[in-house]
Structure 1
Amino acid sequence: MITDVESATPALCRLQLGRELRQLRHEAGLTSTQVVRTLICSPSKLTRLETGDNSVVEAVDVMALCEIYGADPEKRALLLGYAAVTKTKRDWWQSPEYRPAIPPTFKAYLGLEATAAAVCNYESEFVPGLLQTEDYVRTIHRRAHERLSADEIDRLVTVRMTRQEVLHRRSAPLKFAAVINEAVLRRKVGSSTVMRAQMEHLAEVAERPSVRVQVVPFKAGAHPGMNGAFTLFRLGDAESIAYQENLGGASVTRKRADVALYEEAFNDLQILAVGPQESLGMIREAIKEH
């Protein structure tokens, strides 16, 4: 439960509101089908409300669901408070300066990243986004988006750097566990100066209490991450969501069986990877090489 609703972000309020509504439905012994028939709405609307996918939550919808579930006055007031925040405040990625640089599919990712208590990320080709330097980010985007103008590249870089604020929150900074392939340390992205600065930054961030970085060395051989990079968002209350992205698009899954596969893969990768201190040693060696 959010202790200070007024200061909470809209993304966090949407997520908590969804959890509370889902719990109320379960406590009332109602299925989604029964609820949508009573509410006279589409199944997708209820799903969006329960997963926090709506950018704005209408108070009338919350009141109607509370009536169906028989929620007590205190619970109704709390949920209406969550809904009010989604109407009166805006997540940073919804502001006009960022919106043009963020595709619709990535907004879901940003919402998860902003509300997660912990994130586990495996990367095989580049330094995880939350740990990248500005020059490293710019080099990647210039190569990946060659048709974009300098201004468009600047917006993409700004989005990436703004995302990193979750690591610097005064209260409860994001717990971030990253496992990277050794190739990430060796692959030259941009000039030697860019790579050296990136490796120095990676080494510095890796020593923070809330950040854990491990490297899977080449000598480890085949490993569970060879199917591609992925991210696990741990949202609390034992709920996790898996995210995977490729050239064809992105996919998000909440299905427990599917998420469990990613959790098992990440656990295996952490076991195969060298420990944080030895990984830090590999990063420092890479600094010298670059």
Structure 2
Amino acid sequence: MITDIESATPALCRLHLGSELRQLRHEARLKASQVVRRLLWSPSKLTRLETGENAMVEPSDVIALCDMYGADEEKRAQLVGYAAVTKTKKDWWQTAEYRPAVSPTFKAYLGLEATAAAKHEYASEFVPGLLQTEEYVRAIYQVSDLARDANEVNRYVAVRMARQEALGRMDSPLRFAAVINESVLRRRIGGSGVMCAQLAHIVTMATTLPQVRVQVIPFSSGVHEGMNGAFTLLRFRDGGSLKPITYLENYADAQVVRSGEIVDQYEIAFADLQADALGPKESLGMIRAAIEEHGAHGQ
């Protein structure tokens, strides 16, 4: 539950609203198909409400669901308050500056990342987004099919930089643990200068921000749990109503996975990766060595 609705972000309100509505439906012993049939809604409308994917939520829709579920007056007022915030405020990625660079699927993920208490990420090919420098991001998108001109590249860079503000939140900074494949350190993106600055930035973030933990899984580890690809895990403050999620992304698609069974599998995989990886101090030593190698190559 959000104690101060007026100061809450729309993303946080949507997530809590969706979780509470889903819980009320389960308590009323109603299937989603029964609800949409009674209200003459499309199935996707209820799904978006319960997963917090709508940019805005109509208070009248919340009232209709509360009536059907038999919610008491206190709960009804709380949920309508959540909906009102989504109507009166915008998250940063919904503003005109960023909107063109954010796909619908990624928008759903940004809402989760912006409200998460902790993020665990295995990075197999690129430096994790929250640790990337502007020059590194720009080097990626300048050769990507996703960005065809300078304006598009600038928008993608702006989105990536804005996301990193989660690590510096004044009230509760995001706790971030990353396991990086050694190949990420070796792959030259944007030239030796860009790579040296990028790797140095990782060292700075990991040594100056206590909530940031970086480990490297070396080639010498052999087969490991991350060999099927990169993944991200998010955990939320309210462990009771907002369940952990997994985010998966590839060249053609991206998805938010909410199934508890699947999320548990990725939680175990990440714990195994941390165990197989070098410790934080040893990892920073490997990163510093990679900086020297890139610097020597550029001379």
Residue by residue over 1:114-163, the C-alpha shift from the partner in whole angstroms, topping out at 9 and shown as x without a partner, is 12221111111111000001111111111224861112111111111011
Question: Could you say which residue in structure 1 is the equivalent of 2:138?
Answer: 138
Contact 2:199 2:291 in 1 (8 A): yes
How far is 1:35 from its partner?
2.6
1:161-176 alignment, distance < 5 Å? 161-176=161-176
> Which residue of 230, 236, 239 corresponds with 1:237?
239
Residue by residue over 1:174-221, the C-alpha shift from the partner in whole angstroms, topping out at 9 and shown as x without a partner, is 111111001111111112221111111101111222111111011001
Q: Alpha carbon RMSD of aligned pairs, Å? A: 1.5
Question: Could you say which residue in structure 2 is the equivalent of 1:63?
Answer: 63
Distance 1:4 1:280 in 2: 40
Distance 1:42 1:103 in 2: 22
Structure 1 stretches lacking a partner, 5+ long: none
Distance 2:49 2:13 in 1: 11
DSSP-derived class of the 1:205 partner: helix
Distance 1:35 1:124 in 2: 42
Distance 1:94 1:130 in 2: 19
Say how many residue pairs are matched. 290
Distance 2:174 2:103 in 1: 24
> Which residue of 255, 262, 281 corresponds with 1:258?
262
Residue by residue over 1:54-92, the C-alpha shift from the partner in whole angstroms, topping out at 9 and shown as x without a partner, is 111100111111112222212111111100010011111
Distance 1:107 1:156 in 2: 13
Q: Partner amino acid for 2:273? A: L
Fraction of identical pairs, as percent: 65
Distance 2:38 2:152 in 1: 46
Contact 2:17 2:50 in 1 (8 A): yes
1:1-290 alignment, distance < 5 Å? 1-145=1-145, 148-207=148-207, 208-235=209-236, 236-237=238-239, 239-290=243-294
Distance 1:106 1:198 in 2: 24
Q: Stretches of 4+ moved more than 4 A in 1? A: none
DSSP-derived class of the 2:201 partner: helix
How far is 1:105 from its partner?
2.2
How far is 1:30 from its partner?
2.7
Q: Report the TM-score when normalising by structure 2.
A: 0.92
DSSP-derived class of the 1:144 partner: coil
**The 10-residue stretch of structure 1 (166-175 or 228-237) with the greater mean CA deviation from structure 2:** 228-237
Distance 2:134 2:41 in 1: 45
Structure 2 stretches lacking a partner, 5+ long: 295-299
DSSP-derived class of the 2:2 partner: coil
How far is 1:104 from its partner?
2.1
Q: Partner amino acid for 1:112? A: L
Distance 2:116 2:62 in 1: 23
Contact 2:147 2:153 in 1 (8 A): no
Q: Report the TM-score when normalising by structure 1.
A: 0.95
